[in-house]
Chains A and B, each alone.
Chain A
Amino acid sequence: MPVNEKPTADASVPDGAVTERRKLLLDVDRRKFLQNGMSLGALTLLTGCDISDSDVVQRMFAQVSRWNSFVQGELFSRTKLAPEYPERMAVKDFRYNAWYQAPLAPVIQASQYKLELAGLIADKRPWTVRQLYALPQKSQVTRHVCVEGWSMIGKWTGTPLATFLDVVGADTTAKYVGFVCADGYYESIDMPTALHPQTIMAFQLSDQILPTKYGFPFKIRIPTKLGFKQPKFVTAIYVTNRNPGGFWVDRGYNWFSGI
């Protein structure tokens, strides 16, 4: 007798009963499927938290974020200006924002400060505060938008980054401009944004030399990007073709973060 031969007991059962039973089985299966589906849904909802932290989801986020950066880069217009507001709308007491408390902000002595240049820049001689502040300057009253959702209109004054990059002979065909900061922060932006007329090295906020907590001696003010893309206490600028990432970017935030 073949081993895998099935018992033939079923043969004695009338056809009708089998169909009936099969129907019943199908019904039960459906019910089970529904129940399982629902409990899976509930489980997903309740443990949604756990999914967020899983490696698979984090990898998916990284992929989608890269795609979103590409889309935003395509959407970015070199000539489209951020809306400017009347000066009276500029907030005088601008909100301080960083991952550490304001008193811990690095205190930079103007006499000791040097802005270092690196990468694809022809003239890498460092710059003093006095030299920087002697550059031609422009003012803008624009809205600062934080990734968290709050926003604030402020008045910033400084030199267009495009002008500075031109003066130091930067290779503006390169892809990225990177920044290193005195507080351990670092950021990088795409070249089109770096050359945007409203992207400035801001030396002043509300007509005052940038106070320590706002990033003395200067911050990069980019009204076409979210707040965290605008580094303070900049101590080095470099031009590169390798994406240098950024402090928050390397912690999961979108790199382009244009607005």
Chain B
Amino acid sequence: MRLQRAKPNPATHDIQEHPALVRIAHWLQALAIIVMIGSGWRIYNSSPIFGYYRFPLWATLGGDPMRSKIAHMDPGVANALNWHFTGMWLLLASYLLFMAHGSISGHFWKQLLPLRPRDVWRDFIAAATFRLPHRLGEYNAVQRFAYWGVLFCILMMFLTGLAIWKPVQLSPLTWLFGGYPTARVLHFLFMSAICLFMLVHVALVIIVPKTFVAMVFGRAAHAHPIQPKEPAPHAGE
């Protein structure tokens, strides 16, 4: 007798499904964010905000500094700026795609809401003490908070980015963020928050690799050992 592959049943499996549009928007955003952060760090290095702290060269994007010295007369700042002002369009497009899909499909409202501070705190304590169960396709309060948080941070990166890119043409926006130097620090802080998100996000994906499978192939399921709730009457069949 051949073992039939059981059709996943919500009672016995947890399933995660991502439509192609979500997966494309997710990976494009991931790529764009890596480009934006890597190039942003190279730009930062040319004029550090915090004392003399500079990001290690290997973690930045902008090419080989020696080659840049010849081609651009700088340690890769022109390249980094070009990456940054190219990546921003990709990030804008993929972010809008993601936000539009999440809002229109109802995914945001169905899976990421409600979001109550008390639940976030409860789930955070549970997660910190390793007592928070994870089911594919279900978002606990900490996850909901993190996803809303990172989407908010990306929005703020656009706004603070615009404020320091166009402090004259968009001077009210720059003023709103406390002026050019403060907006620049805020741009840095929201970047740091996104980095923190990415660290935790990737760490959790490593712990639950099926989420990665789902984000690549569109679907993943965890099989739970089938534990009948009541004795099966025809067990001997």
Q: Which residues of A contact B (CB under 8 A)?
A: 16, 30, 34, 37, 45, 48-53, 60-61, 64-65, 68, 75-77, 80-83, 99, 143, 145-151, 223-224, 248, 251-254, 258-259
Contacts and interface: CB of A to CB of B under 8 A. Distances in A.
A83 B73 CA distance: 32
A210 B168 CA distance: 25
Contact of A251 (B46, B49, B78): B78
Contact of A64 (B77, B89, B171): B89
B166 interface: yes
26 contacts: A30-B217, A49-B62, A49-B63, A49-B64, A50-B63, A50-B64, A52-B79, A53-B67, A64-B82, A64-B86, A64-B89, A65-B82, A75-B169, A80-B168, A83-B171, A99-B73, A146-B47, A148-B46, A149-B184, A223-B168, A248-B78, A251-B73, A252-B78, A252-B79, A258-B168, A259-B168
A121 to B, nearest CB: 28
Contacts of A61: 79, 82-83, 86
B169 A252 contact: no
A83 B85 contact: no
A53 B79 contact: yes
A60 B180 contact: no
A252 B89 CA distance: 18
Nearest to B83: A52
Contact of B85 (A48, A64, A151, A259): A64
B47 A34 contact: no
B169 A80 contact: yes
Interface string B26-37: 000000001000
A83 B71 CA distance: 35
A151 B43 contact: no
Given A52-B61, A145-B167, A258-B169, A252 B72 contact: yes
A64 B79 CA distance: 12
A52 B169 contact: no
Contacts of A30: 217
Contacts of B146: none
A52 B60 CA distance: 11
B41 to A, nearest CB: 12
A224 B171 CA distance: 11
Contacts of B43: 148-149
B181 interface: yes
Contacts of B164: 149
A82 B168 contact: yes
7 shortest A-B CB distances, which residue pairs?
A52-B63, A252-B78, A61-B82, A148-B47, A53-B63, A148-B46, A149-B47
A252 B76 CA distance: 10
